[in-house]
Structure 1
Amino acid sequence: MELTVVGCSGSVSGPDAAASSYLVRAPFAGGTFALVLDLGPGAMGALYRHLAPEDVGAIALTHLHPDHCLDVCAFYVGARYSPTAPWPRIPLLGPPGTRERLVAAYAVPGEDDPAGRPAGIGAHFAHQDWAPRQQVGPFRIETARVDHPVETYALRVTEDVPEGGSLVYSGDTGPCEALVELATGADLLLAEASFRDVPGNPPGLHLSGRDAAEAAQRAGVAELVLTHVPPWHDRDAVLAEARPHLDAPVSLAEPGASWTIGPR
């Protein structure tokens, strides 16, 4: 399978990158299946650089903070009003309350009945709450709830073929055992690194580059990619703080960068 960075700026969109969004593709049913992990502000436009968005097979949201989900509204606009509309109704996996969050964000009077009879954005997607394990096209997805102020899930995406590669995406999290356990033996860990390695970082919120590297070391991952660095931090400094703590390759996510993920 192939991982491509659509957006990687942390907490807000950045001067050179959209907010969090990642494209995972693999062969499936005679074609290619495209799974989008998170769709933060600016990511819908950036997605056009990599594929026609109507070809997306599923969207997966780690949590419902705006920097990870709000461009689902933009996706819906394309699905309903672009020249290629209507786009297929696709699965949208997320925490409980995802449909209601998007209906509130899009907020078109009369399109979605609060009594539970959606007709607009609430009806367009086939909503699925996260379960411990699920199949999405060619991918097995395992989840672990991680340490963040809202209900948030790290995702382990494995291509469902013999010796298929495995990608773990941290979502947003503070240091926690759940992430280490989910990432154990993964081919690539895509981990947020929102904090600098300084005293006084609030608990239960985000990782530093060092935190991400230490989690990757404990999990025995083959490669670490740092993402979600906000524009107010020096990205190279975050990378430098991580490198001494992992005996494996570590790099920064960049818009358009891609990795082919397979067994070690």
Structure 2
Amino acid sequence: MRVTVVGCAGSFPGPESAASSYLVQAEDEAGRTWNVLLDLGSGALGALQRFCPPTEVDALGLSHLHPDHVADVSGLYVYLKYRPIGTGPGRRRPLPVHGPFGTASRLGQAYGLEPGESMADQLAVHAWQPGRPVRVGPMSLTPVAVNHPVPAYGIRVQGPSEDDPSREVTLAYTGDTDTCPGLSQLAAGVDVLLAEASFVEGRDPVRDIHLTGRRAGEVAAEGGVGRLVLTHIPAWNPPGAAHKEASAVFDGPIEVARPGLVVRL
């Protein structure tokens, strides 16, 4: 299993990156590559096309419904619905989309559907059930409720290791959250923790919205995480601040996400 950073800018697209989107891939026993997309924020659909044709995405998991995590689902709907015949393989069935309760109506409002219209011909929307896994090929996605001003979920993705397909590995993606019991549950014992680190210690005193680099590092240390990848860092943050904060409390490997970064599990 591997994850490619499609977009990692926090809260809005930055000059170097689209907003949040992560492509998780794994091969099954027959050698078929399965593609799971976690979030598709502002600007991410364009970047996604460098790594995976949108028609080949097998499932889309949405952590929550803020625009920097879902805005480009409107563009994806257009791509799937109106792509000209003969320009490549199309989808044979609607794309499964998993998100918080109310996802279908929120996506419809963002796109501007007329009354009575639906996206169901291209997007099959399902509400997350906390703690209940969703199977996508050789991968399993388990949502865990976390701490944000709107309903939000972190997602644990389990699948085969790149080096040894007989061994199962786990990626945990925090989405947007501050510290909470759900975050601790999400991070416990994972091989890679993909953690947002939007706030800076001392500068951003508000709680129950985002993590700082330090708080992300503390969660990684408490959970015995194998590797920490910091993401969702706004363009206005000082370069290196999140890494410096996290490294003060977590002594394992730490990386800062960037577009195109591939993390192999």
The amino acid that maps onto 2:52 is L
How far the C-alpha of 1:136 sits from its partner, in A, is: 2.1
Size of the aligned set, in residue pairs, is 254
RMSD: 1.5
Establish whether residue 142 from structure 1 lines up as the match of residue 142 from structure 2: yes
The residue number in structure 2 matching 1:249 is 253
The residue number in structure 1 matching 2:5 is 5
**Residue 102 of structure 1 contacts residue 122 of structure 1 at CA under 8 Å; is this kept in 2?**
no
The residue number in structure 2 matching 1:197 is 201
Structure 2 SS opposite 1:92? strand
Establish whether residue 38 from structure 1 lines up as the match of residue 42 from structure 2: no
- Percent identical: 44
User: Within 2, Cα distance between the matches of 1:93 and 1:139?
Assistant: 14
The residue number in structure 2 matching 1:93 is 98
The amino acid that maps onto 1:58 is A
How far the C-alpha of 1:207 sits from its partner, in A, is: 0.2
Q: TM-score, normalised by structure 2?
A: 0.92
The residue number in structure 1 matching 2:62 is 61
Structure 1 SS opposite 2:140? strand
Alignment equivalent of 1:105, drawn from 92, 95, 110: 110
User: Within 2, Cα distance between the matches of 1:25 and 1:33?
Assistant: 6
Deviation string, structure 1 residues 17-67 (Cα, Å, up to 9, x no partner):
000000000013541000000000110000011011111111000000111
Instruction: Give unpaired runs (5+ residues) of structure 2.
Output: none
How far the C-alpha of 1:165 sits from its partner, in A, is: 1.1
The residue number in structure 2 matching 1:79 is 80
The residue number in structure 1 matching 2:132 is 133
User: Within 2, Cα distance between the matches of 1:67 and 1:80?
Assistant: 23
User: Within 2, Cα distance between the matches of 1:162 and 1:152?
Assistant: 32
Alignment equivalent of 1:170, drawn from 174, 187, 194: 174
**Residue 10 of structure 1 contacts residue 229 of structure 1 at CA under 8 Å; is this kept in 2?**
yes
User: Within 2, Cα distance between the matches of 1:207 and 1:200?
Assistant: 10
Stretches (4+) displaced over 4 A: none
The residue number in structure 1 matching 2:213 is 209
How far the C-alpha of 1:144 sits from its partner, in A, is: 1.2
Q: TM-score, normalised by structure 1?
A: 0.92
